[in-house]
Each structure stands twice: as structure tokens, then as C-alpha cells.
């Protein structure tokens, strides 16, 4: 265990031999599907002339809501998300119809030819307007501990501010895609690029009027997902499946980049109001948060996303008196969804901003204020939702990264440098991360696996997890290989397949390796036990005399190849196939009171970032980053390092260059890489030091005492944002009003060099 093995598909990736959904050989009867979308943000459909679509070259069929035999819905938690809009369109991009044609181009050209008349209705285009209009997809929620208002009133110091953090497109390189193939007796086989094959199966079944048994969903790998293919994949799969059902032919729907960005959900942008009271040392005495997020047109995953934002407004800090209000705003924009961090980043954005403000108000190093407010002993060890923080290593990690980065000395040097460099200014910041691991919906914390051992000793591994690049499959294979004492190369990694492992949760919430690793270990363990029992009986030895290691089975003094024992056991009619199951222990949580233990444990990390800012243009560069991150006892340090590095850079993109813009009519204007700017190679800090915390065994009984690593590192990038803020703070403007993303324009505005507001403009 713990070997830094390459990704199981690395040799295929580099040779172009890794097969993604669009690379599968196409069935002979394949039709290509395109979607016709609303051009207005809110309207009633008055006339829908599809004749030009039907008569367009190469068109085979058109799909409308009336063609849907089952439910016209793909909303998994709340059934408020039609696959195709019926009479009212709710955002610019809302699917109205689909068209199937003999080529991709023919379908896409045809889809653009519809003549649609709308009665245009008033649209709500941002969260602030939604709060005013009380336009919500779900009821507002509150979480309270102590008496924030009383302590705020009596606190020696009090600060209030409204801050915004932008949304973010997942920008997986492989866009959404599904291919549906009709099977015997009306069944469907669906290849889907999805993090949640089980949900795709359910939604396709519901839409097509089938039972789950009649739908099989398979996903070998995705070209990135980041949360964007959790709930959203069902929309694409349902359209492909419905068209396949209607035409009786195989149908593939691949969204082009623009449609993908316009039609599918993103990270929620938040408007956060805070009101914080604190003493002379910077200790927070009371804090009020009002969070308003852009949920878009439907509930989708916005409930749990916003819950998680509320859970993470503490980040690593003890908030004795806290009151949080969370508004889940209904806007006439695409329904927002999961994205790595799932509300956590936005919650942390609020508290880190408040802490930074406190430091700037008191004229202290923000790190001092952060340390002052950490969780600790003596009653400072319970979260605002009642979960004891039993594994707090934030202070140690922060100490380590501060030392590694030489934080204090560099901070002093930077302040000195800035005195003589008024145009190019530097800044530095250290921010911690504490992130709760588990689905907050307890029932989702279950996983299944299937392990088959063949007569030749080779092993077929399947589990409910999906591979989106995060290295889950190699990690789980390492677990199974270890359990059976064989080489990883003996374990065949196979596609997620709803007919092998049923009812699997989404590969999400960073829980993929924790849950599927445990489930696969349980399956492998069953087989090893059966083999052990057989060996004990066959050779009349006790269990202690049997060891599985390095491809052999030691039986007392004798040693057999694993394959030989397997073959012998098979001949004695021992079952060599097993399922495994896992449910996360200890967690319980009452959604009505927001109390309990929603998280099995916390993952920690801390980062120091240094930036340089050009105060004439607002352009900036990250110069150096130091990270210490906690992966527990890593299952695969190479994979985990990749998650930490990649998550950090993705978080830096969210907070700096990635800006979603809508025009005054509510149409997204940043819907391709030409206008939506994720980090490129040169944006990586020239000095980038990432350390995985050593001797860090998870105190909870996770698989090999590892920790989840998918999401937490993204939030380390808050250090970049605060380094920029540090760089542009001056004696005259000690706490600049910088919103995220800190684009060059946002930076120049925070510097006070800009009068006009951009919001009115775009």
C-alpha cells in the first residue's frame, strides 16, 4: 500500500488509446442528436415552428415533451427540472426540443432553424434581485449557536461588509455526452459520461417509463467532471435515451462546448453579508452571516450545496456565537450544481474575508488573527452544528507551512519592498482549510463492490465509483491487490456499470476512495477468507499459518502461487466471486435542527501564497506557493499530490481569472475558452512546493487510515486571493473591497482606480 503508482490509464492517455464515450465504435444505426434551446431568459412559448428543423438536410426525428412516455423530469432531489421545457422557458439555454440527424453537423444545423415565438416575461438575473423578490428554489435556512446579536452589540469592535464570490464553470475538457442503444424488449444500454451512473439509470428509467432493470448505464472514464457530471449528466442521457426509444435507433448526444457551458450548471456565485464583533486581540465574539446564492431555475443539488456552505463558514475557527441565514435564490439562469468543494469554498470565502478584515482593522498580521480563532480545547472544540472537532491538526499544519515558507520573514521583506515599489506591489497570505468528509445526506454514505477471481488467479474488480481522472480506480485496485497479496497488474480495472454494482452513490463529496476502497476491500476479504478456510482444511493448518503476499500463498512452510491455490479452491467448489458493502460509521445528523455529526472526519491543509500585482493594470502573478496538505496515510502519494496541486490551481482560477458574465438579457456571454479563462501553464507559480503531511494516519478507521483528498485542496487557493488583497492594501486603503474573481479589472476597482461598475454594463 501507499505506492506512488502511475494512473492505471496513463500509458493509454499519452498514446491516445484511452477510450472516452465519443471514442466508442459507433453502432451502424447511429443517429446524432442536438438540442434546441430557449433564446430568452424567461418566457412563455407562443409558437414553436419546427418545420424548418424537420425539413433540414439529414434530419430523422424531432423530440418534444409530448414524446416522453414517462416523467419529463431529471431533478433527482426535487422533481422541478423538466428535460424539455413545456410551456414556460426559465433561462436562456433551456432545452425545448431535440433533433436527431444522420450527422452531428446536420443535427446541430437543424436545431438552430426552429422558429420560436415567446411572450417575454420579467427575468430575475442575480441573487440580490432574487432575495428582494423572495424568489427561492428552496426555503431559506438558518443555523444558530449562542446569541450572535447580543455579542455583536457588546463587542469592542464590529465590522460589516458585503462580499461576492463568483461562480465557476467546471470546464472538464470532455463535454457532456451520452449514447443510448436500444436493446431487446425495450431495454436501453446507455454509455454516459457521468459521476453518477445510478442516477442516470433512474432518471432514464423514469423518463422512458421503464424499470431500472431495463436500463444499464456504463462509464469507463470521464474526461474530467469536477461535480459537473453529477446531476447534469442525466439531462443529456435522458435526451439521448428518449430519442433512441422514439426512433428505435442508437442515438448519441454530444454537447459542443458552447452548449455545454450554456445548458449545464456551474458553481454557485454567492453574495455574503457578514457582521462580526471581536475584541482587541481579534478573537471573534459574535458573527452573523447572510448567504445568498444563485441557484438558477431549479433545486438540483442547491439544497446540500448551500447546507455545506453553512457548515463551512467556520473553516478552522471556533465561532462561539454565530447566526447564519442561507437564501437559495431562484434566478432565470442555468440551474447551478455541484462543483468541487460543493458550497464549502463559498462558506470559507466569507469567514476568511472577515478574519482578514479584522486583522486589517487591528493592524495585525492576519495569521495572528487566524491562530487566535482556531478550534482548541476547553469548550472551543465543537462546531456550530454540534460536531466535536476531535482531529484538529490545523495549528500544527499551519505551523509547518509557515516555517517551510519562511512566512514571517518574507512578510516583513515584502512590506519593506513595497515601500520602494509603488507600482508593482507584492502580497503574501497564509490560509488554512478544514473540510468535512462525508455526504451530508447520511443515506448516501454507502458503497458496493464486486470482485471476481478467475481460475487463473487473475482478478476482475468493479465498484460503484467512477473515474474522472482523480485516480480512484488505481487506488481501489491497490487496496484489492493488497488484500489478496497479488500484484496490482493482476487486477483488471473495469468500467462503472449499473448491472454489476447497483444503487451506487455519486462519486462525489471526496468520498470515492474512502467508500469504494472499503467496499472493494470487503469483497476481496470475503474471497481471501474463503480461500483461507479452504487452505486450512486442505493442509490442516490454522489460519495464522496462512499468508497472502507477493503473489503467493504461504501455508506453514510451503508456498504456492496465488493462482494455484485459486485453481485448487475452484476444483473444490469454493465461490470465487464476492460483493462487498460499506457504510460510513459514526455519522448521524438531523437536517431539521442542523445538528449532529454529519462528517466522519475532517481533512486539513494550509497554504502560503505570494503574488505580485501591477497596480496600473490590475494584472497579477502568483510567485510562490507552499502547501502542506493532510491525506492521512496516503493510498497513493503520486495520485494525492496530483489532487492537491490540481485542486489548488483550479481554486486559484475560481478566485482570479474565471469570470462568468451574463448580458442584460440573461444570456451567458462567457461560454467557450475564448471568453472563459481557466489557468494556463504559465499561471502556475514558478516556485510551487507541495508537501503531503507525514505520519498523518487518520484517527478514524478509514481504508488504510487514508483521508479524502478530492475537494479540500481547492480551498487552499484562498491564500492567493488574500495575497492579492494584501498586495493592494495601503495605509490609505488598508482593507480594499476586492470581490472574487480578482480579475485585473476587479483589482483595479479595489485599488480605487475605477469609477464605473461593470455589473450594469455586462
Partner 1 sequence: MGSSAQVSGEPAVQSGKAIRFVLDGEVITVENPQPTRTVLQFLREDLQRTGSKEGCAEGDCGACTVVLVELCRDGNALVARAINACIQFLPTLDGKELITVESLAQDSTGLHPVQQAMVECHASQCGFCTPGFVMSLFALYKAGDNANGSGKRPGRREIDDALAGNLCRCTGYRPIIAAAEAMFTRESAHGTGNSWLMTPGPGGTGLAEKIALLESLQRQQALVCGEQQDMFLAPHGIPELLACLAENPRSTLLAGGTDVGLWVTKQYRDLGTVVYLGKVAELGRIEVTATHLELGACVTLSDALPVLHAHFPQLDELFRRFASPPIRNAATLGGNIANGSPIGDSMPALIVLGASLQLRSQAGSREISLEDFYTDYMVNDLQAGEFVECIRIPRPTGSELLRSYKVSKRFDQDISAVCAAFNLTIDAGRVTHARVAFGGMAATVRRAGQCEQALSGQPWSDGTVQAAMQALTRDFTPLNDMRASAGYRMQVAQNLLRRMFLESEGVLTDTVYDYGRAS
Tell me: does residue 762 bind partner 1 (CB under 8 A). Answer: yes
Q: How far is CA 49 from CA 263, 714, 717, in A?
A: 22, 46, 49
Contacts to partner 1 from residues 67-96, by CB under 8 A: none
Residue 733, C-alpha cell as written in the block = 486603503
Q: Of the two residues 418 and 579, which places its CB atom closer to partner 1 in the complex?
A: 418
**Whose CA is closest to 434, among 313, 592, 323?**
313
Candidate residues 46, 183, 538, 680; the one interacting with partner 1 per rule CB under 8 A: 680
Contacts to partner 1 from residues 648-677, by CB under 8 A: 648-650, 657, 659, 661, 669-670, 672-675, 677
Q: Of the two residues 571 and 681, which places its CB atom closer to partner 1 in the complex?
A: 681
Contacts to partner 1 from residues 170-199, by CB under 8 A: 170-175
Contact 395, 693 (CB under 8 A): no
Binding segment for partner 1 (CB under 8 A), chosen from 138-146, 405-413, 574-582, 683-691, is 683-691
Q: Is 135 left (phi over 0), alpha (psi -120 to 50) or beta?
A: beta
Candidate residues 44, 112, 162, 558; the one interacting with partner 1 per rule CB under 8 A: 112
Residue 284, C-alpha cell as written in the block = 471573534
3-state secondary structure of 757: coil
Contacts to partner 1 from residues 299-328, by CB under 8 A: none
Q: Of the two residues 15 and 66, which places its CB atom closer to partner 1 in the complex?
A: 15
Contacts to partner 1 from residues 403-432, by CB under 8 A: 423-424
Containing H/E element for 564? helix 562-571
Tell me: does residue 447 bind partner 1 (CB under 8 A). Answer: no
User: Which stretches of 552-619 are assigned E, i.e. beta strand?
Assistant: 552-555, 558-561, 577-583, 588-590, 595-597, 601-614
DSSP track, 692-755: EPSS---SS--GGGB---SSGGGGGGHHHHHHHHHHH--SSSSS--PPSS--HHHHHHHTT---
Positions marked active-site: 711
382 forms beta bridges with: 388
Containing H/E element for 258? helix 257-263
Tell me: does residue 66 bind partner 1 (CB under 8 A). Answer: no
> At its nearest, how many Å lie between partner 1 and the CB of residue 676?
9
Contact 264, 185 (CB under 8 A): no
Q: Of the two residues 24 and 77, which places its CB atom closer to partner 1 in the complex?
A: 24
Reduced to 3 DSSP states, what percent helix, strand and coil does the chain have, rounded to the nearest 5? 30, 25, 40
Binding segment for partner 1 (CB under 8 A), chosen from 155-163, 179-187, 236-244, 745-753, is 745-753
Candidate residues 88, 396, 408, 745; the one interacting with partner 1 per rule CB under 8 A: 745
Q: Of the two residues 327 and 426, which places its CB atom closer to partner 1 in the complex?
A: 426
CB burial of 270-300 (b: ≥16 within 10 Å; e: otherwise) equals bbbebbbbbeeebbbbbbbbbbbbbbbbbbb
Contacts to partner 1 from residues 20-39, by CB under 8 A: 20, 22-23, 25
Candidate residues 144, 683, 705, 730; the one interacting with partner 1 per rule CB under 8 A: 683
Q: Rg (Cα) of the chain, in Å, rounded? A: 27
3-state secondary structure of 265: coil
Contact 615, 422 (CB under 8 A): yes
Half-sphere exposure of residue 428: CA atoms within 13 angstroms, side-chain side: 21
Q: Of the two residues 72 and 670, which places its CB atom closer to partner 1 in the complex?
A: 670
Instruction: Please report where in the chains the cell 457551458 appears, as a residue.
Output: 261
Residue 106, C-alpha cell as written in the block = 446536420
Candidate residues 83, 84, 106, 569; the one interacting with partner 1 per rule CB under 8 A: 106
Contacts to partner 1 from residues 585-644, by CB under 8 A: 612-614, 616-621, 623-624, 638-639, 641-642
Site string for partner 1, 233-272 (x = CB under 8 A): -----------------------xxx--------------
Tell me: does residue 756 bind partner 1 (CB under 8 A). Answer: yes
Give 228's DSSP letter: T
Residue 37, C-alpha cell as written in the block = 434551446
> At its nearest, how many Å lie between partner 1 and the CB of residue 614?
5
> At its nearest, how many Å lie between partner 1 and the CB of residue 748?
6
Distance separating the N- and C-terminal Cα atoms of the chain:
52
Residues contacting 674, CB < 8 A, separation 6+ = none
d(CA 56, CA 53): 5
Contacts to partner 1 from residues 366-405, by CB under 8 A: none
Q: Of the two residues 175 and 465, which places its CB atom closer to partner 1 in the complex?
A: 175
Binding segment for partner 1 (CB under 8 A), chosen from 119-127, 146-154, 398-406, 466-474, is 466-474
Tell me: does residue 55 bind partner 1 (CB under 8 A). Answer: no
Site string for partner 1, 687-706 (x = CB under 8 A): xx-x----------------
d(CA 472, CA 516): 9
Contacts to partner 1 from residues 207-226, by CB under 8 A: 221-226
Q: Of the two residues 35 and 138, which places its CB atom closer to partner 1 in the complex?
A: 35
> At its nearest, how many Å lie between partner 1 and the CB of residue 659?
7
Residues contacting 439, CB < 8 A, separation 6+ = 304, 445, 505, 508, 509, 511
> At its nearest, how many Å lie between partner 1 and the CB of residue 266?
14
Site string for partner 1, 135-174 (x = CB under 8 A): -----------------------------------xxxxx
Q: How far is CA 714 from CA 13, 226, 310, 434, 738, in A?
A: 24, 11, 18, 11, 20
d(CA 360, CA 736): 10
Tell me: does residue 757 bind partner 1 (CB under 8 A). Answer: yes
Residue 370, C-alpha cell as written in the block = 487566524
Q: How many of the chain's residues bind partner 1 (CB under 8 A)?
A: 103
d(CA 383, CA 595): 9
Q: Of the two residues 374 and 654, which places its CB atom closer to partner 1 in the complex?
A: 654
> At its nearest, how many Å lie between partner 1 and the CB of residue 220?
11
> At its nearest, how many Å lie between partner 1 and the CB of residue 755?
6
> At its nearest, how many Å lie between partner 1 and the CB of residue 33?
15
> At its nearest, how many Å lie between partner 1 and the CB of residue 352?
21
> At its nearest, how many Å lie between partner 1 and the CB of residue 200?
19
> At its nearest, how many Å lie between partner 1 and the CB of residue 309?
23
CA 50: distance to chain centroid? Answer: 38
d(CA 636, CA 493): 16
Tell me: does residue 103 bind partner 1 (CB under 8 A). Answer: yes
Residue 100, C-alpha cell as written in the block = 436527431
Amino acid at each position: 500500500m501507499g505506492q506512488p503508482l502511475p494512473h492505471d490509464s496513463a500509458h493509454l492517455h499519452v498514446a491516445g488509446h484511452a477510450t472516452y464515450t465519443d471514442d466508442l465504435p459507433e453502432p451502424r444505426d447511429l443517429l446524432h442528436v442536438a438540442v434546441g434551446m430557449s433564446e430568452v431568459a424567461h418566457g412563455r412559448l407562443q409558437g414553436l415552428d419546427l418545420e424548418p428543423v424537420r425539413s433540414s438536410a439529414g434530419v430523422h426525428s424531432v423530440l418534444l415533451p409530448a414524446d416522453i412516455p414517462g416523467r419529463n423530469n431529471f431533478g433527482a432531489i426535487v422533481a422541478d427540472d423538466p428535460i424539455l421545457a413545456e410551456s414556460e422557458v426559465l433561462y436562456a439555454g433551456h432545452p425545448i426540443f431535440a433533433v436527431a440527424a444522420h450527422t452531428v453537423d446536420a443535427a446541430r444545423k437543424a436545431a438552430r432553424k426552429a422558429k420560436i415565438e415567446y411572450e417575454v416575461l420579467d427575468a430575475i438575473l442575480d441573487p440580490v434581485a432574487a432575495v428582494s423578490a423572495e424568489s427561492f428554489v428552496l426555503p431559506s435556512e438558518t443555523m444558530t449557536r449562542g446569541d450572535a446579536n447580543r455579542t455583536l452589540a457588546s463587542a469592542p469592535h464590529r465590522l460589516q461588509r458585503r462580499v461576492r464570490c463568483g461562480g465557476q464553470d467546471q470546464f472538464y475538457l470532455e463535454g457532456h455526452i451520452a449514447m443510448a442503444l436500444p436493446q431487446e424488449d425495450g431495454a436501453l444500454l446507455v454509455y454516459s459520461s457521468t459521476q453518477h451512473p445510478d442516477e442516470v439509470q433512474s432518471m432514464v428509467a423514469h423518463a422512458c417509463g421503464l424499470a431500472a432493470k431495463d436500463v444499464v448505464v456504463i462509464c469507463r472514464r470521464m474526461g474530467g467532471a469536477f461535480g459537473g457530471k453529477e446531476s447534469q449528466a442525466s439531462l443529456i442521457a435522458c435526451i439521448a435515451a428518449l430519442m433512441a426509444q422514439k426512433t428505435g435507433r442508437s442515438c448519441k448526444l454530444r454537447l459542443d462546448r458552447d452548449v455545454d457551458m450554456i445548458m449545464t450548471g456551474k458553481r454557485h456565485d454567492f453574495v455574503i453579508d457578514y457582521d462580526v464583533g471581536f475584541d482587541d486581540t481579534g478573537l471573534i465574539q459574535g458573527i452573523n452571516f447572510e448567504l445568498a446564492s444563485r441557484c438558477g431555475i431549479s433545486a438540483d443539488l442547491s439544497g446540500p450545496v448551500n447546507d455545506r456552505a453553512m457548515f463551512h463558514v467556520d473553516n478552522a475557527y471556533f465561532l462561539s456565537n454565530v447566526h447564519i441565514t442561507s437564501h437559495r435564490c431562484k434566478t432565470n439562469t442555468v440551474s447551478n450544481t455541484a462543483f468541487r468543494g460543493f458550497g464549502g469554498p463559498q462558506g470559507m470565502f466569507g469567514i476568511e474575508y472577515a478574519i482578514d478584515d479584522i486583522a486589517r482593522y487591528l493592524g495585525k498580521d492576519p495569521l495572528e488573527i487566524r491562530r487566535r480563532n482556531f478550534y482548541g480545547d476547553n469548550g472551543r472544540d465543537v462546531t456550530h452544528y454540534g460536531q466535536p472537532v476531535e482531529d484538529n491538526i490545523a495549528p500544527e499544519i499551519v505551523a509547518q507551512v509557515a516555517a517551510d515558507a519562511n512566512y514571517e520573514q518574507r512578510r516583513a521583506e515584502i512590506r519593506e519592498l513595497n515601500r520602494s515599489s509603488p507600482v508593482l506591489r507584492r502580497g503574501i497570505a497564509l490560509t488554512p482549510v478544514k473540510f468535512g468528509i462525508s455526504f451530508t445526506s447520511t443515506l448516501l454514505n454507502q458503497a458496493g463492490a464486486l470482485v471476481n477471481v478467475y481460475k487463473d488467479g487473475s482478478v476482475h474488480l468493479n465498484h460503484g465509483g467512477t473515474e474522472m481522472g482523480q485516480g480512484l480506480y488505481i487506488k481501489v485496485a491497490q487496496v484489492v491487490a493488497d488484500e489478496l497479496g497479488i500484484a496490482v497488474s493482476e487486477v483488471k480495472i473495469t468500467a462503472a456499470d449499473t448491472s454489476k454494482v447497483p444503487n451506487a452513490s455519486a462519486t462525489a463529496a471526496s468520498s470515492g476512495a474512502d467508500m469504494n476502497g472499503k467496499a472493494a476491500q470487503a469483497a476481496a476479504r470475503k474471497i481471501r477468507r474463503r480461500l483461507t478456510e479452504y487452505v486450512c482444511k486442505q493442509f490442516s493448518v490454522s489460519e495464522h499459518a496462512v499468508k497472502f503476499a507477493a503473489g503467493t500463498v504461504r501455508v506453514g512452510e510451503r508456498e504456492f502461487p496465488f493462482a494455484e491455490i485459486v485453481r485448487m479452491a475452484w476444483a473444490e467448489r469454493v465461490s470465487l466471486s464476492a460483493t462487498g458493502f460499506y457504510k460510513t460509521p459514526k455519522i448521524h445528523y438531523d437536517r431539521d435542527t442542523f445538528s449532529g455529526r454529519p462528517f466522519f472526519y475532517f481533512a486539513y491543509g494550509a497554504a502560503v501564497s505570494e503574488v505580485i500585482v501591477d497596480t496600473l493594470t490590475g494584472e497579477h502573478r502568483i510567485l510562490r506557493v507552499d502547501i502542506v496538505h493532510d491525506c492521512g496515510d496516503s493510498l497513493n502519494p503520486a495520485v494525492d499530490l496530483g489532487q492537491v496541486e490540481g485542486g489548488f490551481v483550479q481554486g486559484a482560477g475560481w478566485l482570479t481569472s474565471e469570470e462568468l458574465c451574463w448580458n442584460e438579457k440573461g444570456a451567458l456571454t462567457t461560454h467557450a475558452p475564448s471568453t472563459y479563462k481557466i489557468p494556463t501553464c504559465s499561471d502556475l507559480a514558478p516556485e510551487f512546493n507541495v508537501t503531503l503531511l507525514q505520519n498523518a494516519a487518520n484517527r478514524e478507521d478509514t481504508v488504510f487510515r487514508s483521508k479524502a483528498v478530492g475537494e479540500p485542496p481547492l480551498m487552499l487557493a484562498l491564500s492567493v486571493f488574500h495575497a492579492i488583497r494584501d498586495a493592494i492594501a495601503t495605509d490609505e486603503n488598508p482593507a480594499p473591497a476586492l470581490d472574487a474573481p480578482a480579475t485585473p479589472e476587479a483589482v483595479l476597482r479595489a485599488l480605487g482606480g475605477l469609477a464605473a461598475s461593470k455589473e450594469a454594463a455586462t
